[in-house]
Amino acid sequence: MIMTILKGTFALFWILDPLGNIPIYVSFIRNMSNEDIKRTVNIASMFAILIFLLFIFGGQIIFTYLNFKLQHIMIAGGLLLLILGIDMMFGPEREVKSYKDIAIVPLGMPLMSGPGSIATVLLLSATYDIYVALTCLAIALVVQYFIYIAAKDIIKFAGKNSLRLMAYLAALIAASFGIEMIIKGLTSL
């Protein structure tokens, strides 16, 4: 059980990729006070939790109504993660636009709760059980929260090149996890 939670948390953390998202995030918060940063991260975190809970508790009902099977979700989620990993590795750098209020979009979604992490949480709850999914989610979101709170300090300490390396590693792990999900989905059809 502990290994399952560790594996799920690790996968979810790398898919959330808060370390890889720091350069994007810092471009939004660079002129904010520490108090405003905390407020922004608190709002974004609450929004992300709401999105995840909506999918954990309502996602299965929606998928059942649409007659999806777990294998379909695994294959689709795996493809999304594979594409996400490839895009993270080889895609063009995104131009970041400045928003007045970044807490909901882009921080709350898609940075803190994107399609890959939502698919992963759904798969964890369907593959294991809801308590494992909630535990993995809670651990990953707490770590993510503190990373975003300390983002300016992390950039100063690690440097931009180290963060780029972490982003590439996150891309490789996301793509690998995606391939694993595709294979499991296909072999269980």
* CA–CA dist 189, 174 (Å, integer): 23
Res. 12: pLDDT tops 90: yes
The pLDDT assigned to 89 comes to 76
The residue-averaged pLDDT of 129-158 equals 92
Domain encompassing residue 183: 2-187
* CA–CA dist 151, 54 (Å, integer): 28
Give the number of domains in the chain. 1
Res. 4: pLDDT tops 70: yes
**Which of 17-21, 114-118, 121-125 shows the lowest mean pLDDT across its residues?**
114-118
128, exposed or middle or buried, with CB in 10 Å at 0-12, 13-18, 19+? middle
* Between 35 and 74, residue with greater pLDDT: 35
Q: Which residues of 98-109 are buried (b: 16+ CB within 10 A; e: fewer)?
A: eeeebbeebbbb
- What DSSP designation does 112 have? S
Q: What is the mean pLDDT of the chain?
A: 83
Counting every residue written for the chain, the total comes to: 189
pLDDT interval class at 78 (50, 70, 90): confident
The residue-averaged pLDDT of 36-61 equals 91
The residue-averaged pLDDT of 163-178 equals 74
